[in-house]
A and B are shown apart, each in its own frame.
Chain A
Amino acid sequence: MFYREAGQFKTSYSADQALLPIKQDRIGLALILITAFVFIPLFGGNFFLGTIMIPFLVFSLSAVGLNILTGFAGQLSLGTGAFMGVGAYGCYKLTTLFPDVNIIILIFASGFFSAAIGVLFGLPSLRIKGLYLAITTLAAQFFLEWCFNRVGWLYNYNDSGAIEVPTRLLFGMAVTGPEALPAVRYLVILTIVAIMTLIAANVLRGRVGRSWMMIRDMDIAAELMGIRPMFAKLSAFAFSSYYCGVAGALMIFCWLGSAEVEVFDINRSFLILFMVIIGGMGSLSGCFMGAAFIQILPIVIRWVPSALGLDVLAATVEHISSIVIGCLIIFFLIVEPHGLARLWQIGKEKLRNWPYPYAN
């Protein structure tokens, strides 16, 4: 009734190919954006902004990066954490060397370091695929982790081995460091994530994005269609790593304020992979759904027993989280390999006919 395409005629191909062809979807997105940019910073408390929204946005961005590589281009990667780390440490060195340059510019610049490293470790993808490729990304993960630990130059030979983020300003307000307000940091991250998501959506519906999907589905046929596997795969690695790098820089600079190496370890890589699987491989909106889900899950698990009056240890919450996430991954793989995003799409399709009972 409310959600239908009837009466919405497309009179040009550009209208048909728009990101959100259905008017209700466009209204929905507008509402989400208004909520995100206006209502949440106005009414959300520091806790909500700092421990829920900011992590959600940062992880969503990493999930977008990983989904591009694994969901759209079909190259399984277990090195997401390390690529995020490259962006973070890259940004740290840049701001140490150029303290007067605007931090936002440096954050965007640090993504290129990640992209370069991503291409380097993506080179084996020209000869190997699938599981074997995943193992080379493991090599990247462990080797880079070791670098973060041992290469003193990266963390300015700090005694603690961790990086401390200096205060940087944007338009006169502190956006990094201990003085930065959660609302300010939130808006900065939100803007960056929104812009980068739009860019990703554009690339994915164009020639390059199509070439990634062709490589994923059948790289032999893709080659016979004129796609050069080398360009397609390496561009996927580069693009994906860039996004992870920026996410890593944002994570350290606008969220945590400091970094220990554990932040970018193999568990981080797995966590982002779970977000992508549950949210839906090959779906941009799925990245956000997956990230939201994994963020909210521990909170829900903690809340249920306390609502019932039971006491639950933090460690137990983590274990139960593991079990639930594992079961869900298996469940989704069996029932709906395209994750929450596809379930959402199916729901919308059912909604098209609601309240009429006939099948689509």
Chain B
Amino acid sequence: MPSTSSTSDQSVGDHATLLLDTNNVSLSFGGVKAITDISFNIYKGEIRALIGPNGAGKTSMLNVINGFYHPQEGTITYKGKVRRRMKPYQAASSGIARTFQNVALFKGMSTLDNVMSGRSLKMHKGLFWQMLHIGPARAEEIIHRKKVEEIIDFLEIAHIRKQAVGKLPYGLQKRVELGRAMAMEPELLLLDEPMAGMNLEEKEDMSRFIIDLNKEFGTTIALIEHDMGVVMDLADRVVVLDYGKKIADGTPAAVQADQAVIDAYLGVAP
């Protein structure tokens, strides 16, 4: 089925491989239409921002990509495969990871365990070896522990690695959640308002992590964000949603100058 990309501006430089394509996706809950006929694409290696007023359907869109919600119409093409209904663990095993608006950490576990939980898909030793622990299971744990420690170093959360995450301040929790998503070594990382509730310094740290993630590890990132400054700095291209419909799609500069976007969301600078 041919993909109908409806973007106005294609300046993405050398990232020309399509990773994700949404086609005419519509989603309703009972009588409420959350998303109406939305199509946009994400290229491999880019940072794509989703912006728009609250309730525009941004989180719902991520949930659809993730497999948590199943759209009534439309399809998602990911890595060349077309599908409409996908279970969340299938999304995970095909390389999609995400963070949540309200931090969805495992509150009863430590930072280390939370990030380790992101390695779940990559660990294979069966129950028998785990009962013994000594031997293959322990060796596997150590391999993954090494990887997780790299991530912990990268995100500068080594000092809290053994603490229960429930007691951590909000900004650090968000960072741990990012670490957990990173541990999955995803190809596509969906970030739902990663900077919400952070002060300027924390936002700068988080921006740095996201940029490093994108440039060093090559992770494609789809990002919901309200802070236009962050969007301008980080994003390669932007999709703007309003009332469940797409109203603009292009580079940050182009979108910021778009009249429809200004009317719906941005307003004019004083």
Contacts and interface: CB of A to CB of B under 8 A. Distances in A.
Q: Do A and B come from one complex?
A: yes
Interface of A: 12-14, 17, 199, 202-203, 205-211, 213-214, 216-218, 220-228, 235, 282
11 contacts: A12-B142, A199-B131, A202-B130, A205-B133, A206-B137, A207-B120, A211-B117, A218-B105, A220-B68, A224-B68, A226-B92
Nearest to A196: B131
A235 B128 CA distance: 13
A202 B98 CA distance: 30
A304 to B, nearest CB: 37
Nearest to B137: A206
Contacts of A221: 100, 104-106
A226 B104 contact: no
A207 B131 CA distance: 11
Interface of B: 66, 68, 87-89, 91-93, 97-98, 100, 104-109, 113, 116-118, 120-121, 123, 125, 127, 130-133, 137-138, 140-142, 145-146, 149, 180, 184
- Top 9 nearest A-B pairs by Cβ distance? A226-B121, A202-B133, A226-B92, A217-B106, A206-B130, A221-B104, A223-B88, A207-B123, A13-B145
A207 B125 contact: yes
B121 A225 contact: yes
Contacts of B109: 210, 213-214, 217
Contacts of A214: 106, 109, 117, 120
Contact of B92 (A199, A202, A210, A224): A224
Contacts of A223: 87-89, 92
Nearest to A215: B106
Nearest to A200: B131
* A13, A17, A199, A226 — most chain B CB neighbours (10 Å): A226
A130 to B, nearest CB: 16
A172 B123 CA distance: 45
A226 B180 CA distance: 12
A348 B132 CA distance: 28
Looking at chain A's contact residues, the main secondary structure is helix
A224 B141 contact: no
Nearest to B127: A208
Contacts of A222: 106, 117
A232 to B, nearest CB: 10
Contact of A210 (B91, B120, B138): B120
A14 B142 contact: yes
* B68, B106, B137, B145 — most chain A CB neighbours (10 Å): B106
B67 to A, nearest CB: 8
Given A216-B108, A217-B109, A225-B184, 7 more contacts: A14-B142, A202-B130, A206-B133, A210-B117, A221-B100, A225-B117, A226-B89
B138 A14 contact: yes
Given A207-B120, A213-B109, A214-B117, A225 B133 contact: no
A17 B141 CA distance: 9
A282 B164 CA distance: 13
Nearest to B132: A202
Given A207-B123, A210-B116, A224 B66 contact: yes
Contacts of B98: 224
Contacts of A220: 68, 88, 104
